[in-house]
């Protein structure tokens, strides 16, 4: 029996309770999601086209679900400052998969900008949600359909036309539970024509010994001439299993930067799907993954150049140690009638131990002439000559390894367009390679919030 069946059976049994604890705009797509899942199964080991991530196995355990939206003892008035100094943000957070509003917000958002719960949206926000929710992420994708069937809350970020949001919008996602839990959240971002905004999303697990299945679907619309940066930082526990699907649509002249960073995790599957639908658009898709122990990190990407005169650059880097497993499957499609397209894809990897494994599959499909495209992948080990040279200069083997691995990740970090975040990431990556667990909740304000939650 497919793992999907236990969730479709659950909805058929408890659908009224799920709907009652959500909102009409989210409930409107549940029947379509249920129909899309009929007879479907998730990728699994042994399938003909199996590509490393056994999603059937991830979804198979009987996790708990908070379908009645029972609240937890989280104090939303307590300032929660992520460990990124000198970065003034408008901060919001989601506890498990329930929106809990703002924490410490420096200044007010510009007029017309909305940051809202999907479940408790007002009339104006509901109209935007109704227009865009489910219109970018296709319901026939089984991961999207499962999330659509079960998600009861999430966050809307809306930036009206020609509005510039100077301060980054920061979303902290916290996972905490007494027993195994499945969470399903949605993120909907709408940046209208000529607008500019940046968003930082941080994932953290606060109960490290509890098994979580954390699913999310992110939908991003970038209007004509708009600019949007999306930074996704995962710093979770070894018992956290994350399945994330990001779907973005770009219009003419837009500029989109997506940077996905996995510092700590258990099992991670990230899907990125970007459709470029307007000429003169620019896209940067960057990713960085650090794996050790028995961690598993899998990134699947798709960039569709559906029109001409656009540019995309994709770079994913992995450093894997111990028994960690990494996977990258990337596809760039240049559709017919898309001349003067420039598209580049690169996946570069280091296996720092003999037991680490990396699977990589870069792909290009080009159906038009007059384009500049390239793709490639490398898998190697640390430079032994450089290691030897550094040790002859009095640098220990451990420190030499750390320095080389940190330098390897530098160009992904350099792609961050927020200086304070870029500087902080260098520090976090250094601590990660040095074997020190660097979690945002180590800062003073986070500890205070954590203490209140425990009560």
pLDDT given for residue 399 in this prediction: 79
Instruction: Identify the top-confidence range among 45-49, 73-77, 135-139, 434-438.
Output: 135-139
pLDDT higher than 60, residue 73: no
- pLDDT, one tens digit per residue, over 208-262 is 899 999 999 999 999 999 999 999 999 999 999 999 999 999 999 999 999 999 9
Q: Confidence class of residue 79 from pLDDT cuts 50, 70 and 90?
A: very low
Q: Name the E strands within 192-340.
A: 196-205, 212-222, 227-235, 240-250, 255-264, 267-276, 282-291, 296-305, 311-320, 325-334
pLDDT tens digit sequence for 341-390: 999 999 999 999 999 999 999 999 999 999 999 999 999 888 777 877 77
Of 148-152, 313-317, 351-355, 448-452, give the lowest mean pLDDT range.
448-452
- Of all residues in the chain, the percent with pLDDT exceeding 90 is 73
Token pair, residue 421, equals: 């975040």
Q: What is the pLDDT of residues 80-127, one digit of tens each?
A: 444 444 568 898 989 999 998 875 555 589 999 999 999 999 999 999
Residue 10, judged by CB atoms within 10 A of its CB (0-12, 13-18, 19+), counts as: middle
What is the pLDDT at residue 156? 98
Over range 43-72, report the average pLDDT.
82
User: What is the β-pairing status of strands 181-191 and 212-222?
Assistant: parallel
pLDDT score for 447: 38
> Model's pTM, two decimal places?
0.92
Mean pLDDT (the chain, rounded) = 89
In this model, does residue 430 exceed pLDDT 90? no
pLDDT band for 445, please (50, 70, 90 cuts).
Answer: very low
Average pLDDT over residues 411-433: 89
pLDDT of 389 reads 74
């Amino acid at each position: 029996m497919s793992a999907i069946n236990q969730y479709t059976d659950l909805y058929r049994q408890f659908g009224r309770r799920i709907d009652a604890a959500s909102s009409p705009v989210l409930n409107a797509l549940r029947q379509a999601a249920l129909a899309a899942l009929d007879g479907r199964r998730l990728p699994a080991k042994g399938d003909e086209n199996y590509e490393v991530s056994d999603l059937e196995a991830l979804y198979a355990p009987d996790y708990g679900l908070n379908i009645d939206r029972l609240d937890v003892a989280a104090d939303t008035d307590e300032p929660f400052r992520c460990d990124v100094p000198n970065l003034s943000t408008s901060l919001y957070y989601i506890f498990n998969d329930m929106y809990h509003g703002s924490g410490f917000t420096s200044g007010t958002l510009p007029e017309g900008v909305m940051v809202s719960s999907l479940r408790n949206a007002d009339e104006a926000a509901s109209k935007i949600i109704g227009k865009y929710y489910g219109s970018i992420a296709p319901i026939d994708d089984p991961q999207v359909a499962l999330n659509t069937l079960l998600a009861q809350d999430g966050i809307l970020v809306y930036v009206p036309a020609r509005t510039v949001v100077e301060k980054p919008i920061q979303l902290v996602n916290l996972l905490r539970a007494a027993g195994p839990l499945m969470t399903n959240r949605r993120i909907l971002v709408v940046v209208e024509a000529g607008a500019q905004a940046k968003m930082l999303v941080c994932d953290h697990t606060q109960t490290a010994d509890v098994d979580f299945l954390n699913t999310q679907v992110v939908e991003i619309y970038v209007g004509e001439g708009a600019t949007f940066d999306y930074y996704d930082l995962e710093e979770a526990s070894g018992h956290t299993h994350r399945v994330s699907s990001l779907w973005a649509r770009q219009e003419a002249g837009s500029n989109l930067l997506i940077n996905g960073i996995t510092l700590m995790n258990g099992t991670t599957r990230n899907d990125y799907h970007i459709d470029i639908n307007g000429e003169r658009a620019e896209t940067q898709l960057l990713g960085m993954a650090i794996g050790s122990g028995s961690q598993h990190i899998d990134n699947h990407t798709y960039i569709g150049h559906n029109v001409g005169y656009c540019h995309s650059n994709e770079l994913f880097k992995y450093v894997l140690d111990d028994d960690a497993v990494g996977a990258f499957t990337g596809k760039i499609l240049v559709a017919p009638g898309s001349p003067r397209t420039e598209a580049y894809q690169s996946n570069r990897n280091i296996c720092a131990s003999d037991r680490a494994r990396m699977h990589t599959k870069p792909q290009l499909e080009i159906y038009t002439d007059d384009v500049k495209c390239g793709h490639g992948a490398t898998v190697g080990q640390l430079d032994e000559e450089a290691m030897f040279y550094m040790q002859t200069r009095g640098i220990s083997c451990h420190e030499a390894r750390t320095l080389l691995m940190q330098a390897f990740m530098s160009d992904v970090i350099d792609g961050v367009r927020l200086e304070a975040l870029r500087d902080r990431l260098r520090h976090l990556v250094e601590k990660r390679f040095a074997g020190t667990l660097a979690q945002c909740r180590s800062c003073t304000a986070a500890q205070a919030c954590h203490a209140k939650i425990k009560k």
